[in-house]
Amino acid sequence: MFAASGMSQGIDRLGRIRDCTSVTLAQDNPEVHVDDDLVRAAQQGDRGSFGRLYERYARMVHGVLLSKVPAGEVDDLTQDVFIRALRALPTLRETARFGAWLATIARNLANDYHRRSVPEEALADEAEDCEQNVPRPRTEDDYGARVLEEIRGLPEAYRETLILRLVEGMTGPEIAARTGLTAGSVRVNLHRGMQQLREKLKTQSGSQPEREAL
């Protein structure tokens, strides 16, 4: 369902960040999407309508998960979120809050993942530490992965919105519409998150080669 190439393109965007100041924090959205009809139709068993909801919300779910779980787990968990949502959809009363409801399912699934996999994560961290001790040439992918890790170290509200903006390529208004956050909250989270990310990158890579801005 969710194309794995989407994540690769998002990491590539991170790899091209020069100083984080060139990223537009909010853009005008020419169309306000109302999903009530699709949600109601999906609640009545219309799988085509649910498929359209998937197409509209997959990036949001993917980004929320990417802010919380290892990248290699995100695609499978994205599918799980939509499977859970399909099963629970008849219980959703406020159809206008579908996006916020879906984001909550994604966050809960990420929490479930961490409760189940603490021992495996500890082993993975040890293996990663060993790999980091082996010298190898730095690439754009390395830089993008490092930026992603810096984002994932930010407060939750900031890392979600930054990943949705920088990795998933969503605009500020799209993030607000899909997650149920207010436009003002998204602007604040992006602005403050960008400030913190910029400081982290300055501190840890003062001599990083200049990169093409987004």
In tens, the pLDDT along 37-82 reads 999 999 999 999 999 999 999 999 999 999 999 999 999 999 999 9
The model carries a pTM of: 0.75
Are the beta carbons of 168 and 60 closer than 8 angstroms? yes
Taking alpha carbons only, the member of 162, 156, 157 closest to residue 197 is 162
> CA separation (Å) from 194 to 23, 24, 112, 149, 163?
9, 10, 29, 14, 11
Taking alpha carbons only, the member of 23, 10, 11 closest to residue 145 is 11
pLDDT category at 104 given cuts 50, 70, 90 is very high
**3-class state of residue 35 by DSSP:** coil
Taking alpha carbons only, the member of 190, 150, 174, 152 closest to residue 59 is 174
Taking alpha carbons only, the member of 21, 30, 48, 39 closest to residue 85 is 39
Eight-state DSSP code of residue 95: G
Of 26-35, 140-149, 158-167, where does the model show the most confidence? 158-167
Are the beta carbons of 102 and 81 closer than 8 angstroms? yes
Token digits for 176?
A: 């607000």
For residues 71-89, b (16+ Cβ closer than 10 Å) or e, as one string?
bebbbebbebbbeebeeeb
Token digits for 169?
A: 């390529």
- Cα 171 to Cα 162: distance, rounded to the nearest angstrom: 10
Q: Considering the chain, what percentage of its residues have pLDDT values greater than 90?
A: 54
